Structure 1
Amino acid sequence: MKTYPLSLWTLVIGAFAIGMTEFVIMGLLPNVASDLHVSTAAAGQLITGYALSVAIGGPLIVIATYKMARKSVLMLLMGIFSVGNLFAALSVNYGLLMLSRVVTALAHGSFFGLGAIMAASLVPKNKQASAMALMFSGLTVANIVGVPFGTLIGQRLGWRASFLIISIIGLIAVAGLFLLVPKQGNKQKTSLFTELAILKSGRLWITLLISLFSFGSVFAFFTYITPVLREVTHFSDQAVDITLVVFGIGVTVGNLIGGKLADWKMNQSLVGLLIILLLFFIVLFFVQPFALPMILAVFIFGVLAFSQGPILQYRSMLLSKDAPMLSSTLNQSAMNVGNATGAFVGGISVNFLPIKFLSLTAPLLSLIGLVLLFIQLYGINKVKKSSSLASASTKA
């Protein structure tokens, strides 16, 4: 960690703040619903609205800011983020709070998409994926530390206090970006036409579908992990809380491991992770009734699931070198759509089957992602062989 520049840690702080604002609302839903006189279900739409805004807003922000230097865009995004959270803290009704969540979410996808490129530019080539993983670790650490802290503050001082603190953290990130991120190498090297032209690439869309489905299984199971722990493992509320912290630690470890794997052998590592994850879900089905094995399994689930993230992000950047900003941001959108798809598929499973079978239905999405990955890698290898044969024929 000591080899990474201070400028990279400002991106980590920004990611931490975004992670807090995305997830802290889950622990504050009853407080928000009571204070704003709406149902808990209506308050839950604040999460859905945020996720949809991330998926849609990220690419639009990239298009709107393509002429700006990357450093300036990142500062602007964190500025929007801080203002959005300040408005959330000041919201006096449900409509204003929803609007503030939409505004805040606009910064999410594009910050991680552009931030990943910035993180990679701050380190040598052999550490690029690890640097991106370190930036994303801010998001995972937010789940372990930031969300419980924000929830505690919100329950003690009112939910508005949580958003006010997040706004302040966002401003700290803005100051760090201004003071520490170097100016050199920040200007965009591609035109808007070049960025948009990548949308015609079949390879890009397959890459995005791989990200969507590979990560979809994670949220198909994780969305309902609390009822699984209560109804199948028969955990108390306290045991559930402890297990979720263990999961968060696994997520952080997995994120960092994923960066190392992407720097080592990107495609082979992703294939291996998806196969191991599929096998893991089968083992999980038999393990989930037992307390101690289940806690270990949840940790391993966090490691395996989130080792994919840096690899999927790095792949999107490398496979679309002519349009790194848009492809990197679209990958964030794809993963957020994957989250929503996973939650939807998990919901269908829970509605029609006993909840213990979720560990067998959830991996179907990752299986689709693995098949698409094999198809893409086969196509890439076929093109390489054709190019090699053509080159050999020319020389002959």
Structure 2
Amino acid sequence: MPFALLALALGAFAIGTAEFVIMGLLPEAAADLDITLSSAGHLIAAYALGVVIGAPILTAAATRLRRRTALLVFMGLFALGNVATVVAPTYETVLASRFLAGLPHGAFLGVGALVAAHMAGPMRRATAVARMLLGLTVANIVGVPAGTLLGQLLGWRTAFLVVAAIALVSLVCVMVFVPDVPSPKGVRLRGEIAAMGRPQVVYALLTAVFGFAGVFAVYSYISPMMTEVAGMSPAGVPLVLALFGTGMTLGSLAVGPLADRWLRPTIYGSLASLAVVLVLFSVAVQHPVSAMIAVVVLGAVGFGVTAPLQVLIMNKAAGAPTIASSANHSAFNLANAGGAWIGGLGISAGLGYTSPALLGAGAAVLGLAVALTAGALDRRNPGLYKDDGTRTDGGADALPEPATGPADGSARETSDRR
């Protein structure tokens, strides 16, 4: 299993780099394309829109594919989208290429999370998903800062050429190491769509949209915050991005085992901590040292909710989890676009570069309110599936058993035991 998880994490690394590196290269992209900084921000929104649309549609189209085959298709499309960004000649075509690259983002991570959980077994699902998503967090330690520095030195498009190359390496690794897990027997597209309508799935998606918007309200404008408020030079922005990624990684490592034991309390605690940290961030960003410390803490608490929400959605959609698992990444990218919009409103209104943090804190509180409401309603009426994915009526439609075979994940799974 370790090599299989590493292959999935490498795909997540490529995806995380492509998603976030543009935030450190907005000034360079704006200058090259002869557009304003606010127009360059639409490159972030175009990618996020691609994720929102592509996750459910591509996952639905691939419902009957074996899961490794689906992962290969998604990663191939992702690589193609990033190559298109490198060669796109105009602002409009770059927007289109960013949209194309975003389409398979959620589908790959959603199906990848299911495969990781399948290999780990019921007792370590959150830990396995968190380790796969470490690719996203490590991307913010290594990929995003390195891509930002490379883009500043050799042109912003160079970063996306490197991302495309990493995506192709990931595709080969998935082909070699990830077990050939079939789609669950008896699951049809109608059942997958119906699972999306389960109240607890909807509440979890709304929690991601509102709660996570607070992170992106700040992260979308981290470069001007550090230069205009904290007084750092543009050369220090890659270091700040690396610190944010370090916080994300620490949070992901801590949250997996916690969520395996206390799933909903971990979600509540992460969102409450995020709201507090965002308020403190608006003060800490006034000085470069405290700003860097705050960036690490924000990364840790902000991304601490990702794996628990992913597992909660998979559990509540058990029996037909594929589209729901991918839709979670649509929700996070709605938060991406929404957070950038919220932060932009504060800046455009003349409230200063610290206003996104305070507005983001409000979004995190709203996400916490949704999560608490969902928990209260679930205690009264848990529906067909418990938080751990087992059925409340004791039926046989429970969590999949772990994949069998050597620990390196090289064996090919021929049946999906349920």
Of 262, 276, 280, the residue aligned with 1:279 is 276
Gaps of 5+ in 2: 386-392, 394-418
Decide whether aligned partners of structure 1 residues 46 and 281 sit closer, same or farther in structure 2, where only a CA change above 3 A counts: closer
Higher percent of residues as helix = 1
State how far apart, in whole Å, the 2-side matches of 1:39 and 1:286 are.
28
State how far apart, in whole Å, the 1-side matches of 2:91 and 2:208 are.
33
State how far apart, in whole Å, the 2-side matches of 1:384 and 1:368 are.
22
Q: Which amino acid in structure 1 is aligned with residue 254 of structure 2? A: I
1:143 aligns with 2:160: no
Which secondary structure state, in structure 2, belongs to the residue aligned with residue 187 of structure 1?
coil
Say what the alpha-carbon RMSD is for the aligned residues: 2.7
Of 188, 191, 201, the residue aligned with 2:184 is 188
TM-fit CA distance, 1:271: 1.2
Residue of structure 1 in register with 2:49 after alignment = 52
**Structure 1 runs (4+) greater than 6 angstroms displaced:** none
Q: Where do 1:70-219 residues align within 5 Å?
A: 70-183=67-180, 185-189=181-185, 190-219=187-216
Which one is further off, 291-300 or 261-270?
A: 291-300
1:299 aligns with 2:291: no
8 Å CA contact 1:62, 1:110 repeated in 2: yes
TM-fit CA distance, 1:6: 0.4
State how far apart, in whole Å, the 1-side matches of 2:326 and 2:173 are.
22
Larger radius of gyration: 1
State how far apart, in whole Å, the 1-side matches of 2:35 and 2:261 are.
50
Decide whether aligned partners of structure 1 residues 309 and 164 sit closer, same or farther in structure 2, where only a CA change above 3 A counts: same
Gaps of 5+ in 1: 392-396
State how far apart, in whole Å, the 1-side matches of 2:336 and 2:351 are.
21
Which secondary structure state, in structure 2, belongs to the residue aligned with residue 177 of structure 1?
helix
Which one is further off, 146-155 or 269-278?
A: 146-155
State how far apart, in whole Å, the 2-side matches of 1:358 and 1:149 are.
26
TM-fit CA distance, 1:39: 5.3
Which secondary structure state, in structure 1, belongs to the residue aligned with residue 303 of structure 2?
helix
8 Å CA contact 1:66, 1:188 repeated in 2: no
Residue of structure 1 in register with 2:376 after alignment = 378
Q: Where do 1:184-333 residues align within 5 Å?
A: 185-189=181-185, 190-333=187-330
TM-fit CA distance, 1:335: 1.1
State how far apart, in whole Å, the 1-side matches of 2:101 and 2:354 are.
36
Residue of structure 1 in register with 2:390 after alignment = none
State how far apart, in whole Å, the 2-side matches of 1:29 and 1:291 are.
21
TM-score (norm 1): 0.88
Residue of structure 2 in register with 1:394 after alignment = none
State how far apart, in whole Å, the 1-side matches of 2:95 and 2:355 are.
35
Give CA-to-partner distance per residue, 1:349-376, whole Å, 9 cap, x none. 3325344454433211111111111111
State how far apart, in whole Å, the 2-side matches of 1:276 and 1:34 are.
37
Give CA-to-partner distance per residue, 1:210-247, whole Å, 9 cap, x none. 11111111112222334443444444444554333222
Which one is further off, 196-205 or 63-72?
A: 196-205
Q: Which amino acid in structure 1 is aligned with residue 145 of structure 2? A: P
State how far apart, in whole Å, the 2-side matches of 1:375 and 1:27 are.
36
State how far apart, in whole Å, the 2-side matches of 1:210 and 1:316 are.
11
Decide whether aligned partners of structure 1 residues 356 and 131 sit closer, same or farther in structure 2, where only a CA change above 3 A counts: same
1:344 aligns with 2:341: yes
TM-fit CA distance, 1:27: 4.0
TM-score (norm 2): 0.83
8 Å CA contact 2:214, 2:360 repeated in 1: yes
State how far apart, in whole Å, the 2-side matches of 1:155 and 1:347 are.
24
8 Å CA contact 2:126, 2:259 repeated in 1: yes
